[in-house]
Amino acid sequence: MADTMQFDLVSPERRLVSGKAKAVQIPGADGDMTAMPDHAPTVTTLRPGVLLVEMDGGTQEFVVTGGFAQISSEGTSVLAEEALPKGEVTAEFMDERVAKAQAARDAAEGDAVDTAAKRLSDLMALRGAL
């Protein structure tokens, strides 16, 4: 059994991390999960939250607003809608995301209302946790 796996975190703007990780805690849409070497192949959507990456140099934390995570025998890749190192997240950044989510919820109709309300709730919880 390998002690590490390849890990990549990418957003549309940039690659934030690429290297060997011992574990990755993922804020999955269906619940938090931890990917480790030799994890069963899985694909999951992300909810807004904090992604933790345990590497040889310590633990790194990133705020993600959504996206996908793919876990395979080769490693774990996270393709985030938006991702920032936790230390770079400002109150203004979070307030803008919450305001957009509120507008999306208010404009939603039918089945989309529940999805928009869940996203708003997740973003508000994340803002409170930061």
pTM tops 0.85, yes or no: yes
pLDDT tens sequence across 26-77: 999 989 999 999 888 999 999 999 999 999 889 999 999 999 999 998 899 9
Which residue is it, tokens 């990456």? 53
Domain total of the chain = 2
* Residue 98 and residue 41 in one domain: no
* Residue 81 and residue 100 in one domain: no
* Residue range of the domain that includes 36: 5-86
Contact 72, 36 (CB under 8 A): no
* Residue 31 and residue 56 in one domain: yes
The closest alpha carbon to 8, from 45, 60, 48, belongs to: 60
Length of the chain counted residue by residue: 130
* Residue 51 and residue 113 in one domain: no
The CATH code of the domain that includes 23 is: 2.60.15.10
* Residue 14 and residue 52 in one domain: yes
pLDDT band at 1 (very low <50, low <70, confident <90, very high): low
Q: Of 52, 68, 86, which marks where a domain is finished?
A: 86
